Amino acid sequence: MSTPARTTLITTPTFARHSPDPWTLLADGGAGPLRPYDDRALPYGELLARIAGADALVAGMDPVTAEVMDAAPRLKVIAKHGVGTDTIDVAAARDRGIPVVFAPGSNSRAVAEYTFGLVLDAARRISASHTAVTEGGWPKLFGPELHGRTLGVVGFGRIGRLVAGYARAFGMSVLAHDPYVPDDAVTGADAEPAGLDALLARADVVTLHLPPAGEPLLDAARLEAMKPGAILVNAARGGLVDDTALAAALHSGHLAAAALDAFAVEPLPAGHVLRTAPRLTLTSHMAACTPEANRAMGLMVAEDVLRVLDGEAPRHAAG
């Protein structure tokens, strides 16, 4: 008896962009991958319409809601083409008996390297100089050396620890805050454990590596409590920082600079308060965009999709 046809709906345009291997794996496994129809995420209405015949879904930043799941009577597995499942209603999937899989660690080095690039950019005003030169200027922009400064890492998982290592290579000391990581693990990684408020008061550069938590972690009060002249970097998730308060802290000069790669609403809307804030580097949620991470991420989720469709337990289940 032949195996029934199985279909995997791919809604993220970055799936297997830099390697055919994830596509080949799904096809060889009889999971019938459907490529995204263009170079952008699938609109929500079209997602609802197209998911009806899917046995598996591989999503990017798409909101995978209970409504989406109920529109897919054949759906057996949801895969996040990434490391964070905050865009997926994991509880609703659990209630419906649908496993959610993801790709933890697949882009850690890519994000960590990019994060430190943002640190350098914000400190030395590299992008600002580039913009000025392309507009006909020739400014000499000053910024602090990192050697001897203190980096505060909020969230000391895989990415945070890699960023801490890069900082130490630059001669920085490292403070780390993570309520889920024991102090001895922090000190074992050559960092000093610190409470969040103490870290914010002492760090010259603060970098965030946490999932979203509903309310902004850095609200107006916490931004005001940061060390005067500090730099803030967020290449984790939008919503961790109060955008309006951050813009105010930059306009007032309380913060020397900031660099952001993630936003509560993406793409960043026209007229958004951050678009006119000074000494701010904005990039398009691209920290994970390396060919190496793209291939690894695609293979991890494709392997777990096939495992679930074949009646096996996934290796990387969320929740």
What is the reported pLDDT for 2?
Answer: 40
Report the sign of the C-alpha dihedral through residues 198, 201, 188, 180, in that order: positive
Instruction: Give the residue among 306, 302, 309, 285 at the shortest CA–CA distance from 102.
Output: 302
Instruction: Give the residue among 124, 68, 58, 57 at the shortest CA–CA distance from 92.
Output: 68
pTM: 0.89
pLDDT in tens, the chain (319 residues): 344 579 999 999 889 999 999 999 999 999 987 776 566 777 899 899 999 999 999 998 889 999 999 999 999 999 999 988 989 999 999 999 999 999 999 999 999 999 999 999 999 999 999 999 999 999 999 999 999 999 999 999 999 999 999 999 999 999 999 999 999 999 999 999 999 999 999 999 999 999 887 899 999 999 999 999 999 999 999 999 999 999 999 999 999 999 999 999 989 999 999 999 999 999 999 999 999 999 999 999 999 999 999 999 999 999 7
Query: Are the CB atoms for 29 and 56 separated by under 8 Å?
Result: no
Task: Provide CB contacts within 8 A for 265, sequence distance 6+.
Answer: 238, 272
| 307 included as an active-site residue | no
Q: Looking at the chain, which residues constitute the CATH 3.40.50.720 domain(s)?
A: 6-104+288-316, 125-277
Query: Are the CB atoms for 238 and 246 separated by under 8 Å?
Result: no
CATH 1.10.600.10 corresponds to the domain 125-277: no
Beta sheet of 77-80, edge-to-edge order: 33-34, 8-10, 56-59, 77-80, 100-101
Catalytic residue among 17, 109, 202, 285: 285
- 236 token code pair: 């984790």
Query: Are the CB atoms for 267 and 298 separated by under 8 Å?
Result: no
Query: Are the CB atoms for 18 and 289 separated by under 8 Å?
Result: no
Catalytic residue among 149, 161, 209, 237: 237
Going by the DSSP 8-state scheme, the letter that residue 30 receives in this structure is T
| 109 included as an active-site residue | no
3-state secondary structure of 273: helix
Q: Tokens 């001669």 — which residue?
A: 171
What is the reported pLDDT for 308?
Answer: 98
What is the reported pLDDT for 120?
Answer: 98
User: φ and ψ at 88, to 5 degrees?
Assistant: -115, 135
| 295 included as an active-site residue | no
Query: Are the CB atoms for 273 and 244 separated by under 8 Å?
Result: yes
Q: What is 6-104+288-316's CATH topology?
A: Rossmann fold (3.40.50)
3-state secondary structure of 200: helix
Catalytic residue among 46, 67, 266, 292: 266
What is the reported pLDDT for 3?
Answer: 46
Q: Tokens 């006909």 — which residue?
A: 136
What is the reported pLDDT for 36?
Answer: 63
How many C-beta neighbours within 10 Å does residue 131 have?
Answer: 12
Query: Are the CB atoms for 289 and 74 separated by under 8 Å?
Result: no
What is the reported pLDDT for 8?
Answer: 95
